[in-house]
Structure 1
Amino acid sequence: MGQWLSWVKSNENEILKILDDLASKAVETSEALVEYLNDLGNLEKMEKIRRLESEGDEYTREIFAELNKTFITPLDREDMQRIASKIDDVIDFIDGIAARLYSYKIETPPAFTKDMIEELSKATKEVQYMVSKLRRMKNPQDMINHCRNTSDIEHKVDDLYRDAIRELFESNDAIHIIKLKDIYESIETASDRCVDVADVVEDIVLKYT
């Protein structure tokens, strides 16, 4: 644990604070997507997601700017960059899901999307929890458990995705298939990126404890 404390005591607190803000922004964006799915005709709710995505981009730029002027070992820098990039990806994919729902003129939530997006929102909350604990990690096993929770959620999303695709291909409407397959894939990919964050966090926990 001593090595972990010395790492945090240097000057990464600002980076970890912004990283925490970015993870919170992912939660906020996923919850905004749940709200939009329940009111697909509401342009304001769609635009809220776009605004949150821009705010997430700003946090990501801040993290990279801080990393560029802060001396930490290349591996530590790489860990932080990976976490920031993957959380930014999650937010970008959520924005992309909303954009697709809008562009494809989807008026009612397609089958499976509500369950998939609710699971995705749970995954962003797991990510936010893990990132918030990086500054003061008192219970490494708790962190590992939350990493595993994220993987369990991703497996649920995968199962829903497979069921959604199987049902989708019972349709004979090629355009309908293309649109919904694109939406389902975006949700599934966003969930995968949450697991990517969990994998980096688990590596950090094992390395510094």
Structure 2
Amino acid sequence: MKHVIYIENKLFYIESDSSQIRDEERYCAIKDSINRRAALPKSRFDWGEVYTDAESLAEAVGIDLIMASYFTVAAFKTQGFRGFANGLALINSALLNQGVNDLKQHKLNKGLVGWIKKEIIGDVGKLQPSYDALRDLYRCERECQILDDVLGSQQEMHEGSFEEVALQLLQHIERLEMRYHRSEKVQERVVEELSKFSWNDTVLVVAASLISAAFTFVVMTYLPR
């Protein structure tokens, strides 16, 4: 049975019965590509191709949790936190719409989520996202919480699989929020100081805008991250 999810104005299908899509050409091609990856240097593996094939599969016939896992890693590798948030949304939808709900499936779920974490955890902390990525960071953090809640409902002894990832995301969020609020205070101080001079309103606005923009650039670019 297919379920529909909309992500960033795109329609994707989640197939709860994996047997319906396992023989699809793109499904097999993606699995073969991932299986051959161990024999290739990391720099030579084409995550972009995996992403394109998985996205096409999801838009045409649907993907299961396995394909959603490959999609998530490929999206993160090629699009950063925006792709990661989209992938996690697919993962959670796939988990919530599985046709089988037994111990074997729960173990497979845990294994796939563990594989995703292993593939992305090193890069999550190394990336230095800009303020423009803040919305996607919040999306990622929220989807991580949902993911841990879903897995926790399936396994009594579940330990937060994505807690470490969520912590790194929160560190990025805190850093960006602090820098942004610091720049806001600079702007307020500039306007306050300029208002002490007897300039006409037009000159005051222009001067405040120019100086404020310059200070904001310095704060956001050069102060410690």
Higher relative contact order at CA 8 Å, sep ≥6: structure 1 or structure 2?
1
Question: TM-score under structure 1 normalisation?
Answer: 0.31
Structure ID, larger Rg: 2
Counting helix residues as a fraction of each chain, which structure ranks higher?
1
Question: TM-score under structure 2 normalisation?
Answer: 0.29
